[in-house]
Each structure stands twice: as C-alpha cells, then as structure tokens.
Amino acid sequence: MGECAVLKGLSIDNTPEFESHLQKICQQLPEWLTQTSEWYTDEGIEKMIGLIGNTLPAIQFGVETALLDLRNGGKRIIFKNDFSAGKTGIPINGLIWMGKPEFMRQQIDEKLMQGYTCLKLKIGALDFDKECELLGYIRKQYPAEQITLRVDANGAFSTGDALEKLKILAQYDLHSIEQPIRQGQWSEMASLCRHTPLLIALDEELIGVIDKKQELLQTIHPQFIILKPSLLGGFHHSLEWIKLAEKMNIGWWITSALESNIGLNAISQFTASLNNPLPQGLGTGQLYSNNITSPLEISKGYLHYNLARSWSDILKMERSIKNYF
C-alpha cells in the first residue's frame, strides 16, 4: 500500500489529469513487475520508478512505497530498522501554526508542556514585529540550550528586506530559517546564503528540480536542505539530494507534507534508516480528523512506532476486500 500525496499549490503534478495518470500506471504495474527481473531489488524498484517519469513525483512516491511494502510482506513495514521494530523513536520538532499571537502563544505553551525541545514557527503571515515578540516570549523563558527554535518563512520575505530581517531574527538564537524568499531566485538566494547571520534551509526551492539538483546546490550552497519525499519523487530522489548535499557539507533533515498515516509511516521509516540526529519535521498526520489508525504515536517530542497499536482501519479494509472476492 502506498499513498500518492498531492498537495495543492506545491506538487508539480497537481493537475486535472492526475487521476487518469494514476489509473494508467496502476494498469501498467503488473506488466512492469513481470518484465522487470528481480523487481524486488533496489535497482529493480528504481527502474520501475523511472518508468513513471519525474513529472509525477507523488505517484513515484506512492508506487515506491507500495513496492517496498510488498517486498517486506505487505505489513506496512517499508524499511526494517529499530524504529519500525518499535525499539527507538525519532526526535521531531513541534510545529506551531500561524494565527493570532494569542493562538500561537497557546500552541507554544502546549508543545513545551508536551516535552518538545525543538519548535518550528511559521512566520511571514503576521506583522513582523509581533512575530519577533513571540520569539522573544519563548527566549525569555527558555534559552537556546533548552529549546531549539526554527522558523519557516515559506518565501514571505522580499529580496529587498530579507537580509535585514534575518539580522533581526538572528538575535533570538534561532537554529535556522526555511525558505526566506520565494523559490526560483537562485542568485538572490545564493547571496543571502553567503551573507546571512542565520542558517538558511531550502524547502520549496527543491520541488520540481529534476535534472539540476547539483547545479542548484552548487549555485546557492545553502546551509541546509529540507526533503519532502512525497513532493520530490520518493526515497530514491531524496537519497540523491542527500548524497549531493553531504559531498558539499550541506546539512539536511526530512519533513512530511500533510500525508495521512500511510505516507507518514513510510517517510518515518525511511528517515529512521538514515540515522540523522537532528529533529525531523514529522508528525503532521495528527491534523486529520479522519486519519487511518496506525502504530504511529508521539511522546515527549519523539515519534514512535508502537507495536501494541495496529492498522485496524486497513485490516478491516482488507477483510472486506477478501469477502467481496
């Protein structure tokens, strides 16, 4: 089972033709499986992902996840590691959503009480001075040694005032800022990364960059990149980004992108296999009121795979399908 997680406004394959593309590929998959010798190897799966085409990253992600699940027996174990065995957790950041200052302050207090040691705040939608007040509110209570703060501007700053805003934000001992200016402005982003007093992480900048991964990293040379497998074409493409980044001493972490627990489970197990000690951007599946039940749970700032919990919704679905046939 895999999830094709299309996100409106970000996914390059979010088009009216998406479902017809998906239906066609699902019809072709059995033939591809029989024609690909040793399809269950990493090389065989990579070959089939290539047949889908890089213009359909969400489908690449879904098919790759399903094939890896099939390889491991169809039990939602996508990668076998200590995380999927329920032995270790993944440190994650607590996400603070944009809203009125009072609402954001409430979220901050709740996350800190829940045991998070890394918080990520969305900024750029409110008055900048108000946002700085919120950062100051946290720092007055918790120094950087206790709480790591990340901010995500989602490209909200203009090229004219971005550097000055970064200088102001740096006063709050932040870990990093994601995508300070809109993506696609390589020379402007490169200049920011050279002169910034605050570490910069590229996020949306990576989406849709298919054949120019190395060129982008060499041109901009950010301090970090953030990988969203469902928007980048799955795990194979994410690993390509990671290998290139590590050669250039560029840091990285992985983030989910509003997937349900099917996609989040796959991304989490993939993340755990890479042993990155930084807090990861996982756990957004809890936003859904109708999410699929899963063994995933969050405790004290860590994402865990709790073997005592089951995929009950999927088990019911499987039983109903068997009864149908």
Catalytic residues: 122, 228
Distance CA 273, CA 245 (A): 17
Structure tokens at 225: 């990149």
Q: Which amino acid is at 308?
A: A
Whole-angstrom distance, CA of residue 160 vs CA of residue 170: 18
Distance (Å, rounded) from C-alpha 55 to C-alpha 280? 26
DSSP code for 212: -
**CB neighbour list of residue 161: distance below 8 Å, 6 or more residues apart:** none
244: burial class by Cβ within 10 Å (0-12, 13-18, 19+)? Answer: middle
Contacts 24+ apart (CB under 8 A), 110-114: 112/142, 112/147, 114/298, 114/300, 114/301
Q: What angle do CA 5, 278, 8 make, to 5 degrees?
A: 20
In sequence order, the 6+-apart residues with CB closer than 8 A to the CB of 204 are 10, 154, 155, 179, 183
Q: Tell me if 188 sits within 8 A of 214, measured CB to CB.
A: no
Closest to 150 in 3D by CA, of 48, 59, 224, 42:
224
